Structure 1
Amino acid sequence: MRQRALRLSLLAGSIVVAFFVLLAVYGDRAEEGGAEAKAARGDEKPGARSVAPPARLTVPPVYDTARGWEITGPAPAPAYTPTSTLAYALAGVGTATRLAHLESAGENRFRLRTLDPASGERGWEGTPTRALFAPGLAPRLLAVTAADGSAYFVTWSYGKLDATAPAPSDTIVSLDVYDATTGARRRVEVPWPAAPVVTAAGPRVLISDGKATGAVVDPATGGVSRVEPGALGRPKGCRECGRLTELRAVTEQGVLVGGAAEFWVRGGWFSRTVAPTGTAPASGVLSSVAPGRILARWQGKRKAKDTATHETWAVHDMTTGKVLARTRCRRPALAPVDAPQPALSPTGRYLIAGRLAFDLATGKGQCFEEADGTGPLTLTAVTDEGTAYGAALARSVTDALAGGGSPVEVDLTAGQPEAVALAPNVRLPGGSTAGMGLFPWTDARDRPHLTAYPLRP
């Protein structure tokens, strides 16, 4: 009898516990569903909420750590969590600039959120979207500025629509294109047989296989056009254009293509016709691209006395090929593993890339290195005021942002810019926008953060 009473008591307790668990789950889902419904209906007004106040980091003294904002990403988790480093992108110009970032919205789902980088006020947010079935390949985020100035955020993932679908016959690249101002979304799906390279340095999105096959997506219409290896418009007389051919970006005139040496825009200009003065016209190598800009490396003419020891780095306009700025650098004692990745100041006047810095308004460039080409700086960010930040002896930008090397700042407006050492514990900005420095960092629980501080008046 006592055992029966005990069983009944335990059963009653289990029912009560189950009731409260169900109530809690229902409440959470109702709250989440209500928020999603508000976002879908547009009931939640942009700017109605602000992100968290910032942590107090040790940063260059020109930034005011008493003001600003901060966003936090999820700790590393199973597949389909957006990323273990908080991915963000900037779109727009001036006061219209918006910052977008990805956040987890449940298992195998993610959401795009936006904010005003100057104030930290929340803007529109996308409804939760399911990632494709591709374990280990999280959704990625890009920003695109079209030829007419329209700005877009693009999230993309690669995989299968159904977990049981055969691969690779049913694999696609799925893109959600958001109007950066209104949040209006357009879905584009492009069949793709293998892991893609997706970039947005020009006015359209380029999907490629890392070689000569690609697809171009127009963010305004969602239209897709294929690019085949036999239709790249290879310039006549260019022997190296047929080796290591690679699609790099989409310009307003056509696809930008690079070969083992020399590069061109299909139906547009050819690098040999825009070579910097004093260089060998057929020696140009496309290094890397930034929105509207190309970074290229050139050899001197054969009879020049320093051709064996120095090379020219130049920034070109992506639409016309015109040289915007240039500098001469000693060839490094050890070739870098990766090409220097360029980054622009918010208004686009300054461009940095590894040890290189350019003022595109004056056409001047600077190469920060020792006289023998060793011990260079690695620059991480540059402001509209012409102040660049970086680290000496860092292995890469990622290493410099993680505290590697010795932090420095450089005034690019000076007649002879020189690196000035900062305190060893100073954290470097990874970007700059709207008078704000953007500082990515990871806490002790491996959660990624992005903290923004304004410049002091």
Structure 2
Amino acid sequence: MAALALGALAGCSDTSGGKADPTAGATRKAAAPVRLPVPDGFDTGTGWSTSASPEATDVESGSSGFPLVAVAPKSGLVVQAAADGSRVRAFSLASGKTVWAFTPRALTSARTGVFVQEGKAGEKVVLARQGKTSGSGLSTSRRTTTIDVIAADSASKATADHHLDLTAPDDTASSFTATDSGFLVGPVTDGVHEKAVTIDAVTGAQRTVQKKTMTVSGCGSGSCAIQASPAFATSQGVVSAFQQQDGCDQWAEGGTPCTYGFRVGDAWTSTSVAPSGMHVSIPLAVTGQYLVAAWHTSDTQTDPPALTDMDKTILAVHDLATGKIKARVSCTSADALTLQPGAAQSSTRFSPNGDFLVSGQAGFDLATGRGHCFTSTASTKGIDLTAVADDGTAYGIVHVVDDTEATSLYGRLPIAQDGTDTPERDSARVSVRSGTAKALAAASEVPLYVAADGHGLFRTRDVVAVYPAS
């Protein structure tokens, strides 16, 4: 199976004889869609598909990536951007019909990401690009980051509600860090920003956020001063991650372990909701009104937190507004995966009815508060989950550990490297209710989204396809 990531693909070629348009739309209604090898339960004889050049793929993973496809679930849309950022199209998830198209101001050498934000004003599509202005006439060419915000319910010829032009320093490589309710632009190191700009998709307002000193309680045996760095933005404010710098020495007799943690806006701090004995907490992802975090005891003062087979890690779903734990599960992993802020953002999503949540290699039944781990053991491989249906059936990619950074991080889906062949990967179907897992047939694709009516969104490096339930 081709390597997968949340929404990373361009569209098909224009057959009009002009320049190829990678968002040129779905297969015509009269034509059969491309038949991908998919699990039982999806009808590949109907539905719709697009095709794309193998060069038009994501080359970065996780929440700081540059996805070219996103889903607007409430609007029932699949939104697709051209790799060069020259056009965006929104297709009906059910039919593949083009609902609207958007043509932004031209940039050269652009890198593009498309995201969907949800709020009281409805769903907004955010087109984020890094590139250069044309430098025509008397104007000189310059590097820039542009943000265009388009309403998901736009008319056929969409226009941007907001257009932002952020001058990009020549020595700075910015990334886009997005949740479904917040958006940050800025350089990212190990999952956090030293300095970033947060964008409000509703108003278009921008605000600079940066690393700052604050005092938190619950560091070991008392309060401590820490440096907190922005990780991602949410409806409750910016989530900042921190590591205790002093006042701890776990190696001395009776020493105090160092604390890793995070703060959610001005609402709450991880140390105030920590499970007993847990001194390390990493915010992994946000979706809807929940934040997913990893918790475990402190191992060393220098090594980054990791999910290992030595100590159990609690993976917990927190209420984003209060910090209260909604569901939790204890996991170990034979793969020793690094826990990094925001790393599981691309693999975290709800079932359409909101009863189930998958994140990384764990699935949660929110009604019962129970979860199940699909992590590796000495005899089994881990499963990176990609989608979950209303009945708790989830799908995922069998985790492969290699020398790339993406496979060493917990929760980050594998990404095809630009211009290279993608090895086939094994896949699996799991039950979030029972915790059982079953391998799928060789080369089976897995959905990246399953709609309430059963439509499944699939992608390889060459095709985006939507098939109805069979």
TM-score tier (shorter) = 0.7 to 0.9
* Aligned ranges 1:339-350 → 2 under 5 Å: 339-341=343-345, 342-344=347-349, 345-350=351-356
Deviation string, structure 1 residues 63-122 (Cα, Å, up to 9, x no partner): 1111111122345389xxxxxx982111242xx322110136xxx661110111022222
TM-score by length of 1: 0.73
Counterpart Cα distance in 2 of 1:325 and 1:246: 26
Q: Indicate how the Cα distance of structure 1 residues 143 and 399 shifts in structure 2: closer, same or farther if over 3 A, else same.
A: closer
Is the 2:131–2:144 Cα contact (8 Å) retained in structure 1?
A: yes
Cα distance in 2 between the residues matched to 1:176 and 1:250: 18
Matched, 1:398 2:414: yes
Which structure exhibits the higher relative contact order, with contacts defined as CA atoms closer than 8 Å and separated by 6 or more residues? 2
Name the CA distance, whole Å, in 1 between partners of 2:298 and 2:196: 35
1:207-222 correspondence to structure 2 within 5 Å = 207-210=185-188, 211-222=193-204
- Conserved? CA contact 2:125–2:152, under 8 Å: yes
Q: Name the one with the larger strand percent.
A: 2
1:242 counterpart = 2:265: no
Between Structure 1 and Structure 2, the one with more helix by share is 1
Q: Choose which of 182, 198, 202 in structure 2 pairs with 1:204.
A: 182
Deviation at 1:392, TM superposition (A): 3.5
In the alignment, is the contact (CA less than 8 A) between 1:172 and 1:192 conserved in 2? yes
Between 252-261 and 282-291, report the one with greater CA deviation: 282-291
Contact 2:285 2:348 in 1 (8 A): no
CA distance in 2, matches of 1:408, 1:328: 21
Cα RMSD, aligned residues only: 3.7
1:286 corresponds in structure 2 to: 283
Would the alpha carbon gap of residues 50 and 271 (structure 1) be closer, same or farther in structure 2, given more than 3 Å must change? Answer: farther
Give, in angstroms, the shift of residue 268 of structure 1: 1.5
- Aligned residue for 1:272, secondary structure, equals helix
1:117 matched residue in structure 2: 93
Contact preservation (8 Å) 2:236, 2:320:
no
Letter in 2 for 1:407: S
Q: How does 1:13-52 map to 2 (within 5 A)?
A: none
What code does the residue aligned with 2:391 have? E
Q: CA deviation at 1:212?
A: 3.0
- 2:109 is the alignment partner of 1:126: no
Shift of 1:269: 0.8
Decide whether aligned partners of structure 1 residues 333 and 202 sit closer, same or farther in structure 2, where only a CA change above 3 A counts. Answer: closer
AA partner of residue 183 (structure 2): V
Q: Would you say the 8 A contact 2:230–2:238 is kept in 1?
A: yes
Partner of 2:444: 426
Q: Cα distance 1:329–1:373, how it changes in 2: closer, same or farther (>3 A)?
A: farther
Which deviations, in whole Å up to 9, do the C-alpha atoms of 1:207-251 show, x marking residues without a partner?
Answer: 233223121211122111222334x755357588735x4312223
Whether 1:259 aligns to 2:239 is no
What residue in structure 2 maps to residue 173 of structure 1? 145
Larger C-alpha radius of gyration, 1 or 2?
1
Deviations 1:241-298 (A, max 9, x none): 735x43122233321111231000232211111224x442x42122344454322111
Q: Which of 133, 138, 141 in structure 1 is aligned with 2:111?
A: 138
The alpha-carbon distance between structure 1 residues 292 and 206, as it changes in their structure 2 partners (threshold 3 A), is farther
Given residue 388 of structure 1, which amino acid in structure 2 is its aligned partner?
A: A
- SS of residue in 2 equivalent to 1:398: coil
Alpha-carbon distance in structure 1 between the residues aligned to 2:429 and 2:99 = 33
CA distance in 1, matches of 2:73, 2:363: 23
Which of the numbers 449, 452, 456 marks the counterpart of 2:466?
Answer: 452
Q: Which runs of 4+ in 1 moved over 6 A?
A: 164-167
Asked if 1:409 corresponds to 2:423, the answer is no
Report the CA distance shift for 1:116/1:247 in structure 2 as closer, same or farther (over 3 A): same
For residues 110 and 162 of structure 1, do their structure 2 counterparts lie closer, same or farther at Cα, with a shift above 3 Å needed? closer
Q: Please tell me whether the aligned partners of residues 262 and 271 of structure 1 are also in contact (alpha carbons under 8 angstroms).
A: yes
Of the three residues 430, 433, 439, the one matched with 2:458 is 439
Q: How many residues align?
A: 384
1:72 aligns with 2:27: no
| SS across alignment from 1:220 | coil
CA contact (8 A) 1:145 1:151 kept: yes
What is residue 269 of structure 1 aligned with on the other side? 268
- Matching residue within 358, 361, 369 for 1:352: 358
**Which of 147, 157, 160 is 2:129 aligned to?**
157
Letter in 2 for 1:142: F
> 1:450: Cα distance to partner?
0.1
- After the TM superposition, which of the residue ranges 156-165 and 194-203 deviates more from structure 2? 156-165
Equivalent residues of 2:309, 2:336 under 8 A apart: no
One-letter code aligned to 1:256: V
> Amino acid of the residue matched to residue 90 of structure 1?
V
The alpha carbon displacement at 1:61 in A equals: 1.0
Q: Is the 8 A contact 2:68 2:112 kept in 1?
A: no
What is the CA–CA distance in structure 2 between the aligned matches of 1:255 and 1:86, rounded to whole Å?
A: 22
Instruction: In structure 2, give the amino acid aligned to 1:159.
Output: G
Higher alpha-carbon deviation: 317-326 or 285-294: 285-294
Equivalent position to 1:384, from 381, 390, 393: 390
Q: Deviations over 1:165-195 (max 9, x none)?
A: 889xx53320111000114412112233222
Structure 2 segments unaligned to the other structure (5+ residues): 1-15, 21-25, 58-65, 244-259, 300-307, 402-406, 408-412
Structure 1 unmatched ranges of 5 or more: 1-26, 33-46, 79-84, 443-447
Q: Is the 8 A contact 2:348 2:358 kept in 1?
A: yes
Query: How far does residue 438 in structure 1 lie from its aligned partner after superposition?
Result: 1.4
- Identify if the C-alpha distance between structure 1 residues 284 and 75 changes in structure 2 by more than 3 Å, giving closer, same or farther: closer
Q: Secondary structure at the match of 2:216?
A: coil
Q: Are 2:45 and 1:62 aligned?
A: no
The CA deviation string for residues 107-154 of structure 1, in whole angstroms up to 9 with x for no partner, is x661110111022222011135412x4x3x5221111112x1511111
Cα distance, 1:121–1:297 mapped onto 2, change above 3 Å: same
Distance 1:418 1:228, change over 3 A: closer
Give the whole-Å Cα distance in 1 for the aligned partners of 2:339 and 2:277: 24
Give the secondary-structure state (helix, strand or coil) at the position aligned to 2:414: helix
Tell me, yes or no, if the aligned pair for 1:202 and 1:292 is still in contact at 8 Å.
no
